[in-house]
Structure 1
Amino acid sequence: MSKLNYTPVDEIDKIHAELSNTFKSGKVQPIAYRKYVLLQLGYLLKDNVSKFEEVLMADLGKPKVEVTLTEIGPSISEIKDTYSNVEKWAKPEKPGFSINYTPMRRVIYKQGKGIVLIISPFNYPINMSFGPIASAIAAGNTVVFKPSEQTPATSSLFAELFAKYVDPSVICVVNGGVAETSKLLEHPWGHILFTGSGRVGRIIASAAGKTLTPVTLELGGKSPVFVDPKCDLSMAARRIFWGKNLNAGQSCVAPDYILVPKDFQNKFIEALKAANDAFYPTPEAEANSIGRLVSPQAYKRLSNLLKSTKGTIAFGGRLDEATKYIQPTVVRDVSFDDPLMSEELFGPVLPIVPVDDIDEVIKFVNAHDHPLALYVFSQDNEVKTKIINSTQSGAICMNETMTHVGAEGLPFGGVGPSGSGHHNGKFGFDTFTHTRASLDPPGWLDMILSSRYPPYTDKKLKSISWLFPKLPARPTGPPAPMEGRSFTKWFLFALATIFAGLLTKRKILV
């Protein structure tokens, strides 16, 4: 394992002071300077692809295809999107017309919050770091970046490269473990973004509360998949199996377990086996296409869960402690109270939980923490709509897994125990931006608003009543429920009615 040099704890106060001074100096306020730093971040990645491939192989056994697909490619894409849009995003905005307040010349200014602390995870050390860093810089902040100590080779490379490409008083890498992170959390920040486990997330949120620092948490959890018999079976198996085994299953939005009707379990497992055989046709293909668990502790935890399951291994199951390797494994006939259902798996083990129907799926999902992602594989729009309307999750995706995290224009974030707040593109920019309200009313408005000044009289009370809107008529009762009528059916019915009316009118005219 590579040696990671930790940042001396006694330097953290100086780092915080230096980045605070840089922010206060206004150095990062010009859009041109922000764009310069964004391009430097992009070229930091582009110039050093081979180095990142090497360290990610050392830390995670990550294949080069996954490095490009899930790390460097999406990061450069988000940096480029941020670079192209930062001027538009940062431009002051004017609210829509208001008869009362438009004369007051309302403006919303966009300002950085100060120093942003980004604490990134081990599983996607580039992707889950560079996007938020780019957003924080675009918003006009300075950044302290704390990579994971569980990926020592990658975190060492971060410290080396950031110092070469970016002014350390604008972005500074702090490496370390519990002691260094605890020292960082003693300071107030403009914003903290933490990605990791719920256990550590609680510690981060508690520490941030002491300094009244706003926090965004990306925490993960057990993301379920419902497989409807009315799905494109081969596509569903292929996409689910890919999402489960990407990065050796170490993804916060990886499909964690499958909920499938009992009489469809066998057919679905056959499709998963076909996907497995297509992905890994030879032992060499399997060895070269699947990463390794990050640590001996991670391997031991997951292998113990697999050994203790009451379900039956359908295929896979090979373990290699020396290389921290767990073969992609499907376990059938898993019950709700099985050890595999007790915690987020974070590895290439896929439990199949047979259920009676979709109502049992919804009941089980709602009885547990809201997941970071919920996946539905079905070609039935009513099934999709029912699950959307009956559950809560950070994201809900139909007939796909994982890719929503990097989809341009979509927010990434959790709800409840799976996290709070969002990032990605404009959503990240907004997270790290203080929207500052402003008014600049002209003097002549006092002729209209003179009644606000004392001494107060009944006449003045009457004269200001016109400033405020009247409510619509009082409701006579709650609206009638639209039972059994989906929006799609309602829309088609309305469209058919309009079309029929046009035909009738045409006949009358003829």
Structure 2
Amino acid sequence: MEYTAVADIPGIVDTLHEAYQSGTTRSLEWRRKQLNAIRRMCQENEDAMVDALKKDLRRCYNTAVTYELWDIIAQIGYMEDNLEKMTKNEKLPSPLALKPLSYEVWKEPLGVVTIIAPWNFPFSLLLNPVVGALAAGNTCVLKPSEVSSASGQLIAELVPKYLEPTVARVVTGGVAQTTELLAQKVDSIMYTGGGKVARIVMAAAAKNLTPVTLELGGKCPTYVDESADLQVAARRIAYYKNVNAGQVCIAPDHVLIHHKVRDAFLEHLKVEHARIFPGEEQESETKGRIINTAHFGRLQGLLEGHGGEVVIEGETSEKDLFFGFTVITDPSPDSPLMQEEIFGPVLPVMTVNSVEEAIAFCRPRPTPLAAYVFERDPAVREKWLKEVASGGACVNDCMVQILSTDGGFGGKGESGMGSSRGKASFDTFTHRKVVALQSPSFDPLAKYPSTKPIPAVLKMMITQSFPAWIKPVFRGTLGAAAAVLALLVSKHVSISVSFH
């Protein structure tokens, strides 16, 4: 990958600021044009993008298009279908004491947005936020990961062909380029990746008081209750733990299994994994690869000194960067395996005696990006969802919570802050400007300084403390009339009305 010259980065950001200040990004026509350009980029370059993903992560075609390219196109479709509604001014209710004053929310773009993406989903985790930022009327700096070099290089080549340099610019490179980019004053930063770099991003953003959206990760727990359909649980956990070779921030990190069904679950896990990925693991066309030797070595290190029992031992090949599905029962809770996000196809299975014990295991640990539960007992489901904090959750499945375009996707605590995808992405890159609309012809003197006692009815109107039985009377047009009447009849209030 050819890196951007560090000295060029300030000028790149300045160009985007100038474009935003020109006002060209505000119209819906401009926004739709940019969204359509990204769609065309994905459709017209599908083969090249799939090939880049194969080079970086050994992705098969189906996984490449469904988890990345088609997901981007789906996000674009959502934005196009809802753009007019999302950008429309919203009317707000106004307090009775302030009528006929009215309020609206105007949707204002933030300005220049910097988007820093990770290597595990190098297209979707970069372009989906871009879709939200452009739909909201911003300009963008795109920073692909240098680790997924084939995908990053392709992005650097394609974006200038489909988006004007005043709309979006790509900055490629490593630490030096990212450091310089973070030093620039922009209006929003979105970072997806690990907590260590997230702290660096936040520290840099603080110097310019730049708002930050963080999508991080964590150790996503999965509780399998004694009431669960064990075959279904095993099949879905085995599949999602192996998607992208386990390099997914919302993949099930470890399983907490009820002791009564532990052995049966493990047998199902072996069978279902073999059914999904038949034959020799390393020969499977649907299994990906670890991104590089450094991450491969990190995974090998997690398998040392864990104190548990290896019940499924996958094949490994450092030369091929292949790491097979490995299952370990009851490792030490204090081992690195149970302290660090695994981010690979290694699955610890911890035995617990109840849902309460599973919850107690999760509570003192950092809040994960997702938490999963498999059960057929509504009481267990309710307890898990209420008492296990997480960015998102799923019942009897994994990872599909991210597909809600209306609900958004984001973390909590150490798994991130803010939301993206669908409307949440539009909102993240939009300022909601509250506008008060007052009539020049109506000026109640009651709002100006006075030493006279405040009438009881006016106090009730200001504090919104009417008796419950009378509240319906003060809604809508009747409420506005009542408010004006209350002011007019008060001996303590005079009204100045001018006509134009």
Partner of 2:340: 343
Give the residue type in structure 1 aligned to 2:332.
Answer: S
Quote the Cα distance in structure 2 between the aligned partners of 1:233 and 1:96. 51
Q: Percent identity between the aligned chains?
A: 37
Whether 1:451 aligns to 2:449 is no
Among 182, 186, 189, the residue aligned to 2:186: 189
Among 211, 214, 234, the residue aligned to 2:208: 211
Whether 1:358 aligns to 2:355 is yes
Quote the Cα distance in structure 1 between the aligned partners of 2:100 and 2:466. 26
Can you list the C-alpha shifts for 1:396-437, whole angstroms capped at 9, x where unaligned?
Answer: 110111121123322100000010000110011001000111
Whether 1:465 aligns to 2:459 is yes
Partner of 1:91: 88
Equivalent pair of 2:195/2:414 in contact (CA under 8 Å): yes
Whether 1:25 aligns to 2:22 is yes
Quote the Cα distance in structure 2 between the aligned partners of 1:472 and 1:322. 75
Quote the Cα distance in structure 2 between the aligned partners of 1:232 and 1:376. 11
Gaps of 5+ in 1: 474-510
Quote the Cα distance in structure 2 between the aligned partners of 1:181 and 1:130. 18
Partner of 1:436: 433
SS of 1:263 mapped into structure 2: helix
Give the residue type in structure 2 aligned to 1:113.
Answer: L
Please report the TM-score for the alignment, with normalisation by the length of structure 1. 0.89
Partner of 1:221: 218
Can you list the C-alpha shifts for 1:459-479, whole angstroms capped at 9, x where unaligned?
Answer: 457785243235589xxxxxx
Q: CA deviation at 1:293?
A: 0.8
Equivalent pair of 2:96/2:461 in contact (CA under 8 Å): no
SS of 2:311 mapped into structure 1: strand
Gaps of 5+ in 2: 468-500
Equivalent pair of 1:111/1:434 in contact (CA under 8 Å): yes
Can you list the C-alpha shifts for 1:434-492, whole angstroms capped at 9, x where unaligned?
Answer: 0111112012331xx212223x212457785243235589xxxxxxxxxxxxxxxxxxx
Farther-moved stretch of structure 1 (127-136 vs 282-291): 282-291
Cα RMSD for the two superposed structures = 1.6
Q: CA deviation at 1:281?
A: 1.6
Partner of 2:234: 237
- Regions of 4+ moved over 4 Å: 460-464, 470-473
Quote the Cα distance in structure 1 between the aligned partners of 2:324 and 2:27. 51
Partner of 1:325: 322
SS of 2:307 mapped into structure 1: coil
The count of residues paired between Structure 1 and Structure 2 equals 467
| Matches for 1:339-488 after TM superposition, within 5 Å | 339-446=336-443, 449-454=444-449, 456-459=450-453, 464-469=458-463, 471=465
Partner of 1:114: 111
Give the residue type in structure 2 aligned to 1:169.
Answer: T
SS of 2:169 mapped into structure 1: strand
SS of 1:255 mapped into structure 2: coil
Whether 1:7 aligns to 2:4 is yes
Quote the Cα distance in structure 1 between the aligned partners of 2:119 and 2:333. 29
Quote the Cα distance in structure 2 between the aligned partners of 1:330 and 1:144. 41
Q: CA deviation at 1:359?
A: 1.2
Partner of 2:198: 201
Give the residue type in structure 1 aligned to 2:19.
Answer: T
Quote the Cα distance in structure 2 between the aligned partners of 1:470 and 1:426. 32
Quote the Cα distance in structure 1 between the aligned partners of 2:227 and 2:170. 50
Q: CA deviation at 1:75?
A: 1.0
Q: CA deviation at 1:389?
A: 1.5
Quote the Cα distance in structure 2 between the aligned partners of 1:385 and 1:162. 46
Partner of 1:272: 269
Q: CA deviation at 1:262?
A: 2.2
Q: CA deviation at 1:387?
A: 1.0
SS of 1:291 mapped into structure 2: coil
Whether 1:81 aligns to 2:78 is yes
Q: CA deviation at 1:360?
A: 1.2
Give the residue type in structure 1 aligned to 2:75.
Answer: E
Quote the Cα distance in structure 2 between the aligned partners of 1:80 and 1:12. 32
Quote the Cα distance in structure 2 between the aligned partners of 1:382 and 1:286. 43
